[in-house]
Amino acid sequence: MSVAPVESIASLSSDLFYDILRRLDGATLASASCTCATFCSISKEERLWENVCSSVWPSTNREDVKSLISSMGGFRKFYADCFPLIVNKHVAEYEQNNYLEYPDNLTEAEYYGDTNEFEVLSPSDFVSIIDIRFKGKPIWSKVLWGVPNANGSNGWFYNCPFQIDLLTYADRDDNNEGVVTLSVSDGLPPITSMEKERKDGKLWHELCNGLQLSWIIVNRRMKQGANLASWSPLGGQRHWPTDNDFVIRFGSVLPAKDILPSQVVECILTMKFRVVHTEGEGVQTTIKLNELSMQLEDMEGAHVNGRNSLLILKEALSCQRSKNYSEVLESCHMYSKVQNELKEEKLRNESRSNTFCILSGIAAFMTFWYCCL
- Return the sign of the alpha-carbon dihedral for residues 49, 54, 56, 59: positive
pLDDT along the chain (373 residues), means of 10: 50 72 83 81 86 94 95 94 86 51 46 49 91 94 89 72 80 55 90 88 93 95 94 90 92 89 90 88 85 91 91 92 86 81 75 81 80 74
Q: Tell which residue, 253, 276, 275, 279, has the closest CA to residue 264.
A: 253
Single-letter code of the amino acid located at 164: I
d(CA 272, CA 307): 27
275 membership: H or E segment, kind and range:
strand 264-277
Q: How many CB atoms lie within 10 A of CB 61?
A: 12
How many angstroms separate the CA atoms of 118 and 113, rounded?
Answer: 10
> Please, are residues 226 and 317 in contact by the beta-carbon 8 Å criterion?
yes
Contact 42, 17 (CB under 8 A): yes
Provide CB contacts within 8 A for 210, sequence distance 6+. 134, 135, 187
Summarize pLDDT for 338-373 with one digit per residue, the tens.
Answer: 877 777 777 777 777 888 888 888 888 788 777 876
Helices (H) and strands (E) in the chain, counts: 12, 12
In the prediction, which pLDDT does 70 show? 94
Q: Which amino acid is at 190?
A: P
Is the distance from CB of 66 to CB of 58 less than 8 angstroms? no
| AA letter at 326 | S
C-beta of residue 291 within 8 angstroms of C-beta of residue 270: yes
Task: Look at the chain and count its residues.
Answer: 373
Which among 90, 95, 89, 100 has a CA at the least distance from the CA of 338?
A: 95
pTM: 0.82
CB 91 within 8 A of CB 331: yes
